[in-house]
Amino acid sequence: MLKEEYLDLLMAAVYENQSLNIFDFTAGKVPLEAEEFRQCRNWVNDLVRDKLAIYQDDEKTILQLTNYGRYWILQGGYEAFLRESHKKKVSKKLKNQEKEKLIKEKEELLEARLKLTHFRLWGFWLALIISLIGFTLSLFNLYLILTNKK
């Protein structure tokens, strides 16, 4: 029996009984020597980690579904949960890629702005120097004109 099949059956049984001993349920479905019986605790821990179920006792043997788990039972069980979580992961990856793309675009725009600012500053100083040279030449020209008339 596969993990997904086992968890789907377990969730359906817990939904019907409100709470269920996981080892009693597993012993009724799987031979005690089978690998699935040894793995059932780890598989049920996956349900608890995904917040589909909670343990009712300290020994972690009695399982109860959460409201989230009941929702997924009504939506089609554990396999439906896996399908939807896969879609969410894919959409999160797409969102992360879009965020990275936006960050790269912002960095490129910032770099372009810095280059343009650099060119503006160069242009300002170049225009100032040319204006000062022109002013100096006009003063020199005025001096030459005034000194030639005398």
> 8-35 in b/e burial notation, b at 16+ Cβ within 10 A?
bbbbeebbeeeebebeebbeebbeeeee
pTM, entire model? 0.53
Residues 96-105: tens digit of each pLDDT: 788 888 889 9
**Residue 123, in any domain of the structure:** no
Residues 91-140: tens digit of each pLDDT: 667 777 888 888 899 999 999 999 999 999 999 999 999 999 999 999 99
**Residue 46, in any domain of the structure:** yes
- To the nearest 10 degrees (0 to 180), the angle between helices 3-17 and 35-49 is 70
Q: Parallel, antiparallel, or unpaired for β 62-65 and 53-55? A: antiparallel
**Residue 129, in any domain of the structure:** no
**Residue 147, in any domain of the structure:** no
**Residue 49, in any domain of the structure:** yes
- 């377990």: which residue's tokens? 10
> What is the number of domains present in the chain?
1
- The parent domain of residue 35 ranges over 3-76
State the CATH number of the domain containing residue 29: 1.10.10
**Residue 101, in any domain of the structure:** no
How many other CB atoms are there within 10 angstroms of residue 76's CB atom? 12
**Residue 65, in any domain of the structure:** yes
